[in-house]
Every structure is written in C-alpha cells, then in structure tokens.
Structure 1
C-alpha cells in the first residue's frame, strides 16, 4: 500500500502541487486527481450536502481548479447555505447549485437545522448538521428550542443526473449527516454507476454504527466496489477503473 500511495503522490507533481509528508495523507484527493488525469482533466460529479461551497468542502479546490473541466451539481437544501453556495459558484457556469434534498422515495421532506441566531451560543460547526432526523441534532448537543424545520423539495440522484445531462458520473460526493448509507443503498446501479463514491461514516461520533458500516461495505462489494476507510469518511471505487488505468497510463 505504501508503494502505491507514494506513486500516487508523485502524480500530483504533474499538477504543480508540492507533496509533503504528513501523518494522514488525503487519500481521497490523491485518488480523485488520478481519476481526473485519466479522464483528460474532466470531472462529471454530483455533490450532495455542499453547504456553502467553501467550508468543510473536500471538492472546492478541485472543481474550481483552472486545469479541471468540471461539470455537475452542488446540492444544498438549507436556504441560508444555498444562497451562499450560489454566490460562491456564480463564476462557474458548468457547476449548478440546486436547492433540493436527496430522497429515494419522498417528493418533499422536513429538514431540521439550527437557528442561525444561535451561532453565538453554540459551536459554529453545528450550523452545518441539518438532517431529516431531528434527534441527530439533539445528539450533537443542540437544545430543542434552537432547532427549526423547513419543508424542502426532494429528488433522486438519477433525476439530478439526467437533468444535468451528464454523460457519466465520475464522482458522487455525499455528506448528509447520517443519511449517506440510505442514499447509497437507494441508488439505481443499473442506470447509474459512479466511478468514485466518497461518503461520511462518522464512526467515531456514532454517525454510523460499526454494524451499519460493515453492512454498507458488504453492499458496495456486491456492486463491484472496494472501500477504503478514512478517518471520518470512506472511498468506494471500482478496482478495474483505477488499477487498469494505472497499468495503461502508468
């Protein structure tokens, strides 16, 4: 594994990045840049839970890079974050902000979020933990009287994919505060098969239980994916897509 990681790190030099030794190298970013290189610097993607497009965003620096031809949708259901998302992507016409939520069945759903006026009383990060599950906010220390709800329109991932007129899906990025596994299990893999899926497991905070994570990994394996766990997230990829490309273009 160390030899493969060293090789992937060297590929970043081609893009003008300085590679430094760290205790926790960003494996997702390394793999993503490699996929972009394989695809002639193109990236077609859907990001679910984009927040404001800057904070806590693992894609911002990649999809706005001038060397990358990025096309896709950045999805954020919380109105105040969506307004910022629109502003932050105003200069990138091939990336469309969408004010919807992803749900496999429902056309509308109640979304729970933290009252913005509480930002001085609570840690700033709680503003980013909107969820269909009210108890998720409570478990993260949000007082009941600081929780608000709003009804949001919902679409499926396939609907977003077709509306964006993408020819393939290189990356499905998911950060939905505990709903990631449901979205993945609800994907229509016969119609849409992402090459990379980057999702949040949050095991250390109980966002996903170990049992649920193992079950999800098994499900992804059954769909032909291998899964690489990171500290708080995980990367699902098709071995033939990555390893075959390394042999062809290495």
Structure 2
C-alpha cells in the first residue's frame, strides 16, 4: 500500500520520539480528507476493481459505525454477505439496504467455530434509554457475557439463542468461494473466527477487525497467524487492517 500522511508522520516519530506531541497536533489539524482510516485503506486497496466479493460479520444495522456502507453505496461492483445475529438490527439492516438486495445476501446468524446455536448477550434498547447509555451500547452484543458487564456493569444483560454458522458456510454463498474482503465487528470473538478462516481456499486479500478486545498474547497469536499467510498488518486505534502483501496496491 502507498504511504499516507499518517505513515510518514509515524516514521518521523519513530526516528525522533520527541516530536510525537507536535506530530499528533499537526495531524489533527489536517483536513479530514488527508486522514488515514481503515475505511479509506479498504477503498484504496480495491480501487479500480469492478468485482469485489466481501463478507461483513456483525453488520448490525448497516449504518451505525459502518466502514463498508459508503463504499457499497457508490461501488456497484461490490457484492457481499452481511451477517447479523440480533433480530431487530437484522431487520433494520435489510431495510437500510432495500435498494441493493440484488447484490447482497443477509444472514440472521452469528459466525463461530461450529454450526448450531449459542447464547448471545445484549442490552435491550429500553435499558439503553433507561440508563442513558451511549447509543453504541446496543451494538456490543457478544457471545461473551463478561464483555458487556465490563462495559456496563449496572445494565440489565439479556440473552437470546442465535444460530451459528462457520465462515465456510457463509462463503458458500459465492459460487466460486472467493472472498476478497472480510470485515468484522464481533465484540471479542475475533480470534476464533480468524483461526477458522481458510484464507487460501477463499483467496482472502483484505481483513478489517477490532483488536481492542484482545490481550497482548492474543494479538501476538493473530499477528503470527496472519503473517504466516502473507498478510501485512497495520493498527488504527482500536482496529487492525491486514492485507496480502503480494496484492498490495
């Protein structure tokens, strides 16, 4: 991938650590168009490609904090499978992409390490409103109950039983099994999913996932896993992007 202002700034700071505070301030003053973000990396990686197959795991409603939506709406060559386990968010997801259903598949399920059913823990909208929680409190449903209690210990955590699928099951929606990009927002379930993706079989070239829920050991394991499969990694705050070095732009 080509160097950005952020890349050049980081290189300078690594060479001259005393400039970090000044560099950060200068970066915040740059117009937004010059800021480097995971969504911009995703768009740039596939720039000029007329056929991109993607899977979005934890798509929520297709709007809130979604890095794919702007690309999808103005890139008719993008086709994908959007996976969301929460019934209410899933219904809104379909509604929010009502005019793109010819190139999208929607699955009301969670992706995990086995097929079947699992409990999904979440905070109901009524409790978000009652406790005046931030809007994103409804987005952090997780297969791990402690993930929610760490964020909001006083909230009422409810549970629902959801269908679970393997990544390969989702990829089978593409006739050739090719999945160019994988975008995940799975609130602590990143590592198990990544460990169960057959990257070469599905020819995955780009991955976007949250690393903030991983401890140091988990991050190291994931970095090693992806590195051994030819991916380069770059962190952005809470997110990581990974791309096949052999396919780098």
* TM-score bracket for this pair, using the shorter chain length: 0.7 to 0.9
- Measured in 1, the distance between the counterparts of 2:35 and 2:136 equals 23
Bigger RCO of structures 1 and 2 (CA < 8 A, at least 6 apart): 2
Deviations 1:229-248 (A, max 9, x none): 11110011111101xxx4xx
- Measured in 2, the distance between the counterparts of 1:142 and 1:91 equals 39
- Measured in 2, the distance between the counterparts of 1:115 and 1:48 equals 21
Deviations 1:162-197 (A, max 9, x none): 124355211100110010111001112342231001
Instruction: Kindly state the Cα deviation for residue 96 of structure 1 after the two structures are TM-superposed.
Output: 1.8
Q: Which residue of 2 aligns with 1:13?
A: none
RMSD, aligned CA? 2.2
Contact in 1 for aligned 2:121/2:160 (Cα 8 Å) = yes
| Partner secondary structure for residue 234 of structure 1 | strand
Question: Of the candidates 229, 237, 240, which is equivalent to residue 246 of structure 2?
Answer: 240
Establish whether residue 43 from structure 1 lines up as the match of residue 49 from structure 2.
Answer: no
Unaligned segments of structure 2, at least 5 residues: 8-29
Q: Which residue of 1 aligns with 2:207?
A: 197
Q: Give the alignment's TM-score, normalised by structure 2.
A: 0.82
Instruction: Kindly state the Cα deviation for residue 82 of structure 1 after the two structures are TM-superposed.
Output: 0.5
What does residue range 173-188 of structure 1 map to in structure 2 within 5 Å? 173-188=183-198
Contact in 1 for aligned 2:59/2:83 (Cα 8 Å) = yes
Instruction: Kindly state the Cα deviation for residue 134 of structure 1 after the two structures are TM-superposed.
Output: 0.7
Unaligned segments of structure 1, at least 5 residues: 9-19
Alignment length (residue pairs)? 223
Instruction: Kindly state the Cα deviation for residue 61 of structure 1 after the two structures are TM-superposed.
Output: 0.4
- Measured in 2, the distance between the counterparts of 1:27 and 1:150 equals 34
Contact in 2 for aligned 1:36/1:42 (Cα 8 Å) = no
- Measured in 1, the distance between the counterparts of 2:63 and 2:31 equals 25
Contact in 2 for aligned 1:89/1:97 (Cα 8 Å) = no
Question: Of the candidates 139, 143, 155, which is equivalent to residue 128 of structure 1?
Answer: 139
Q: Which residue of 2 aligns with 1:110?
A: 119
Structure 1 stretches of 4+ with a deviation exceeding 4 A read: none
Q: Give the alignment's TM-score, normalised by structure 1.
A: 0.82
Q: Which residue of 2 aligns with 1:4?
A: 3
- Measured in 1, the distance between the counterparts of 2:153 and 2:139 equals 12
Q: Which residue of 2 aligns with 1:138?
A: 149
Describe the shift of the 1:103–1:24 C-alpha distance in structure 2 as closer, same or farther (beyond 3 A): farther
- Measured in 2, the distance between the counterparts of 1:64 and 1:34 equals 16
- Measured in 2, the distance between the counterparts of 1:166 and 1:177 equals 29
Deviations 1:77-113 (A, max 9, x none): 0011001001001110211221011012241111011
Instruction: Kindly state the Cα deviation for residue 38 of structure 1 after the two structures are TM-superposed.
Output: 4.1
